[in-house]
Amino acid sequence: MSLSILSRRAAAPLVAPRFAVAARRGYHEVVHDHFNNPGNVGSLDKEDKSVGSALVGKASCGDVIKLQVKVGEDGTIQDAKFKTFGCGSAIASSSYATEMIIGQNITEASKITNSDISSHLKLPPVKIHCSVLAEEAIQAAIADYKTKNSSEASALRGTPAFP
């Protein structure tokens, strides 16, 4: 082998060792960052009228995402929390999804797609289902918030189911 080839091989890991390891595993560095340092992990009070909650999962892979949103009176998502049982891509998708929706109104947040999440995280094709779960969790949490706060639901609260 020539010296120039040896020096290039030796130099490559020194230039970007974390990226090289991530690329070998098939995950982009941004997935590793969200997995190792996930944002917005936790829970909100599900009894709070301003909190919408969702629990979504995929039986075939075992991933489960619990996502909650706290919505202000102006319709803006003030906070979002998640707990995920699953692979690193599911955790990264949940973490990034919460970062995306905080500060958005519920109409804007409901337009977020799995493609928005997966393209940012650069998920490999076999892990796209993780971003689909995150999208479904956002949609379900917003739907739960809307159900809790619809005028019909408010009027029925405290009313017995059977007279």
The catalytic position among 20, 61, 87, 102 is 61
Residue 45 DSSP label:
-
**51-58, strands of its sheet edge to edge:** 51-58, 63-71, 77-85
Distance of CA 20 to the CA centre of its chain: 25
> CB-based burial of residue 71 (10 Å sphere; 0-12 exposed, 13-18 middle, 19+ buried)?
buried
Q: How far is the C-alpha of 38 from the C-alpha of 55, rounded, in Å? A: 18
Amino acid letter for position 133: L
Residue 105 DSSP label:
B
The catalytic position among 69, 71, 101, 130 is 130
Residue with structure tokens 């650069």? 122
Amino acid letter for position 125: P
- Annotation says 61 is catalytic: yes
Catalytically active residues, by annotation:
61, 130
